[in-house]
Amino acid sequence: MNKQLNIFNTLSRKKEKFIPNNKEKVGMYVCGPTVYDFPHIGNARPLVVFDVIYRLLLKLYGKEKITYVRNITDIDDKIIESSKKNNISIDELTNKITKNFQQDCHYLNCLKPNFEPKATEHINEMIEMTQNLLKNNFAYENNKHVYFSVQKFKNYGKLSNKVPEELIAGTRVEISKLKKNPLDFILWKPSKPEEPSWDSPWGKGRPGWHLECSVMSGKFLGKNFDIHGGGLDLVFPHHENEIAQSCCANNTDKFANYWMHNGFVTFNKDKMSKSLGNIVSIKEMRNKINGQVVRLSLLKTHYKQPLDWNENLIRESQNTLNKWYTQFEKIKINDIEDDLLQPLLEDINTPAYISKLHSLYNNASKGDKASKKLFLTGCNLIGLLEEDLDKWQGFKKTKLKIDEKSVKSKILDRENARKKGDYKLADKIRKDLESLGVVIEDKGDKTVWKLK
């Protein structure tokens, strides 16, 4: 299939032709979860976005020619803090959250990557990379801590398009008197007695966050590979630091050739945060909303743009899929016409692609068999309408029976909050219900509800 993919490269800040190092061995690495808490809807976006990119690469190059790697961070400060807070061991916590994450991926109909390595399985390789950087004077040791010296890497700041002074002013730079430069970042640090630790030339300790992705991408994809992806929040410091340490350790000018980042997710126009109480886990949604509704909702906005998670978005996606399922039929995947595929080839423009699916649906509903075949194939390509009709239709009924008591309990909590004048809590409960697919309406002194 001779079709040209063009993608926006964060590194160059422009759209470029995607030309793999070797079209027989196309590689993509995407930063996966830090398994300290249940993934939320913001975490779902990169899962779905890069799953669509993976599916497109499979279509363009063939299954045997694509290697997709997504890591799992199972050692980190947040994990240690969460295990203490929840009074469970780190192993118990990481195993529990990792298992839940896999269930989330299945719920969102994401294909499994070729490799899903864990950080703790690659400590020796991280120690080796740190030794390499020390040996070649790109890093220094101070009081059993090993830091990367950013001034030794002339292109530092190129990915985030900022000079060091601007980066220092950022809020995500760790402050430490042990550093020679505020931007220097940790490669290895000593562990406290109660924390996980591994033997190293610098004493018992653990690796820094950035090191793991450099090591695991190199192991499975080589020193220079095609695509590196993740959320926009990872550009600095995580991806910036990956580039610096990888290029210096591997003696290469490039790490990944193309960098792709998805935009942020807000909740009813507000930033998602624990303090606002508006973080909705994927786990919470599993019993309330069909995963395809979530998936379509996440694809209706271009991946680089901000996406607002709200009631209207979910309801529109639900209604769309209800219509689309009237044309459901199990088919053998066919070739996709250039005209339909073109939006995806132009920097994964899923809104334009979905618009074309709407047109095909309209033609299919008028009896056009060719349009129906292309419509179904097009839906399957982005991971939709792969669930059979009975399962789709049965989802709402089944979940209604399970959750009716819970919904009524939440409505009662809301009514009590309103009686006490706690309208902030009442509004939060209403938004929580909306995010789970439940619409409530106050009629006099009664509150009625329905599923979207």
- Quick: pLDDT tens for 337-363: 999 999 999 999 999 999 999 999 999
At 452 the pLDDT is 55
**What per-residue confidence (pLDDT) applies to 408?**
85
- The pLDDT value given to residue 402: 41
Comparing 49-53, 240-244, 312-316, the range with the smallest average pLDDT is: 312-316
What does DSSP say about strands 225-231 and 205-207: parallel, antiparallel, or unpaired? unpaired
- 3-state secondary structure at position 302: coil
Q: Domain map of the chain by residue range?
A: 6-262, 314-452
What pLDDT score does 373 carry? Answer: 94
Residue 444 pLDDT more than 80? no
Please write the tens of the pLDDT for every residue from 323-336.
Answer: 999 999 988 777 89
The pLDDT > 70 percentage for the chain reads: 94
CB of 380 closer than 8 Å to CB of 400: no
Q: What is the mean pLDDT of residues 173-184?
A: 88
Extract the tokens encoding 142. 């101070």
Rounded CA separation 340/426 (Å):
45
Cis before 237 (ω within 30): yes
DSSP state at residue 235: I
pLDDT digits (tens, 9 = 90+) for 114-124: 999 999 999 99
Q: Please state which of the four CATH numbers 3.40.50.300, 3.90.1570.10, 3.30.300.30, 3.40.50.620 is assigned to the domain occupying 6-262.
A: 3.40.50.620
* C-alpha torsion sign, points 173, 175, 177, 182: positive
Q: What is the pLDDT of residue 432?
A: 79
Question: Which two three-digit tokens encode residue 126?
Answer: 């991280």
Average pLDDT value over all residues in the chain: 92
Give the model's confidence band at 401: pLDDT under 50 very low, under 70 low, under 90 confident, else very high. Answer: very low
Nearest alpha carbon to residue 265 among 72, 46, 418: 46
Distance CA(404)–CA(421), nearest Å, equals 26
Cβ count within 10 A of residue 191: 16
| Residue 269 pLDDT greater than 50, yes or no | yes
Angle at 248 between CA 243 and CA 199, to 5 degrees: 95
